[in-house]
Structure 1
């Protein structure tokens, strides 16, 4: 029974009692984490960053990142669903209609980003999809490649080329029920198996002109100023949570597994202890950088954007290193699903190749520290 009072306590209780219980099935079957989402919805967590005037909790990006981190320790698929929902919500809060904002605040509406495309791939800021005036509406045509919660969301924050203005992109709020949208197939990937990320095709999908989020041609500015900061912090949080979970699982396995002929645990072996210590250092270093980035975001420091870039890059690579080490420490047992290490190992791989990739982040950091514009 979940009887917590604060939002952090509620999330922790749901993560422990609901998300953890379903994580194995979600991973094994690829089933969308509906039970976890239902509990989070009932607790008001879907409205975490919605403004209080529309019925939300009025929290900011740091709070969203902390929720994602806590969920990622138990189920990275659930964490990814919330990550994309919060990223979309940030845009809708800034530019969307009040009716949708109110439904998100009360947990009645799940949204997600629809940025990635077949043609521009990881360069999410440069969509190739079309938006054309067709009588009294706008017709959207696109091949979106990766849309989390594609068949589950109520709406998509959708990118296209501008209708008429200069600029790289324009954003739209597209209802999931719009005629002409086609969700293609089911997700069957290496990791994040329950996040429901599948392609969506749009065949002259009609949306009203006032479905535009921001100005025509202004999508890039919204991506950079609204989406990227919260997405970086949440993405880093997911990797931090995965690192922590893998390090803890490996330590628990080493402490409970014995060499009967030596009457010693695996943890009593110097090489094992050294590996566990190195894992802990790497995981804690990533957590420290991420925590610092959250503090800078909350205080509005000038270096907050740089620190968020650093946190995402460091945490993504740390998760790969730590989960790889956990597989080695646990040996053959790591290949069994019940140990959960192999699930963390697979889930951790996504962050490094999910836009902005680690290589992109390093380039952006290099641009920032040399006084160059991030994009250009």
Structure 2
């Protein structure tokens, strides 16, 4: 990350993200102030091309930004993660007007893939797209979990193909279209402020020019563009949560005392061993992330496998690290004002976020056996 980028993200985390993180979690409130600040600093346009006014940064920089956000607020990190995933699709296939709006920091976008009928099998949409004359398309859908639902300015939307053979087609759907409904409130266990809730579409009309890529080839965009961004940025979120959990655990054990014994908690070899385990697990996950980024950047033959691995490895590592942190800190960890239990809760979301860890293991097995990822 460049010096200016480090300064920008550090300043926003310190002045806006961190001070609001507890309230975002407690109230399940969307982090609007943080998203506004990120937009004004040009960080919503981080991966937008310089041609449209963006910073033109790559996936590695995006991962570093998301990790910094996650160290303070997992919900904010996830909103930005999904924004970058959708932005990557729009940079490859979207209209210039929307790309410029994102680059200016005035447009938040997100993915709308998961559906009620196919659940976490996001690659198999049941949503329909029906031609209405030569220039219009009608979308009907029941999306199950959409990050920034009702808060984003647009959705990168999946449906069954309009006319072609194939598994899916992608669309750019403005959030203000009549027939879109994102009502309701997310009251979840973790990542409580990311506004992840259902979105339904009843007779939503878009132009044929809202199609992203080729009809029936949405799976190619999912694999070629979305997969790397989603997995790497999810892993970065997990790493951010781990780093904060480790920091909080160390701060606690080096200051909390057993006064009757005249010792700190850190004076126990068992406590120190658990701290060491946390550090080792996090460092292993960071190494996997670094190798995945190197594989992508170097266009290595094993890049797809490394991308598949990184989300599963980091999410499982985050569960292990935050669980150890809770154990090491004991009863104090369960007090909300300490903040540790928030990281414990947030870390668990990645394992069930599509594709789930179990699905990723199947994908990895398919890749290793020379089989297609999707049936």
Which TM-score band applies after superposition, normalised by the shorter structure?
A: over 0.9
Does the residue aligned with 2:184 lie in a helix, a strand or coil? coil
Contact 1:184 1:201 in 2 (8 A): no
Q: 5+ residue gaps in structure 1? A: none
* Structure 1 Cα separation of the partners of residues 197 and 309 of structure 2: 29
Aligned pair partner of 1:119 in 117, 120, 132: 117
* Structure 2 Cα separation of the partners of residues 64 and 276 of structure 1: 29
Listed as ranges, the matches of 1:98-109 within 5 Å are 98-109=96-107
Does the residue aligned with 2:199 lie in a helix, a strand or coil? strand
Matched, 1:309 2:320: no
Contact 1:334 1:341 in 2 (8 A): yes
Listed as ranges, the matches of 1:174-193 within 5 Å are 174-193=173-192
Shift of 1:17: 2.7
| TM-superposition CA deviations, 1:146-172 (whole Å, max 9, x none) | 111111100000000001110011110
Shift of 1:34: 1.1
Contact 1:126 1:168 in 2 (8 A): yes
- Superposition RMSD in Å: 1.2
* Structure 2 Cα separation of the partners of residues 273 and 127 of structure 1: 48
Contact 2:44 2:102 in 1 (8 A): yes
Shift of 1:298: 2.1
Shift of 1:105: 0.6
| Alignment partner, residue 231 of structure 1 | 230
Work out the number of aligned pairs and report it.
Answer: 373
Normalized against structure 2, the TM-score is what?
A: 0.97
* Structure 2 Cα separation of the partners of residues 101 and 172 of structure 1: 14
Structure 1 segments (4+ residues) deviating >3 Å: none
Aligned pair partner of 1:85 in 83, 86, 93: 83
Matched, 1:21 2:19: yes
| TM-superposition CA deviations, 1:340-359 (whole Å, max 9, x none) | 11000000000001111111
Contact 2:150 2:183 in 1 (8 A): no
* Structure 1 Cα separation of the partners of residues 246 and 192 of structure 2: 21
Contact 1:62 1:297 in 2 (8 A): no
Shift of 1:5: 5.6
Matched, 1:52 2:50: yes
Matched, 1:298 2:293: no
Does the residue aligned with 1:230 lie in a helix, a strand or coil? helix
Shift of 1:16: 2.6
Normalized against structure 1, the TM-score is what?
A: 0.97
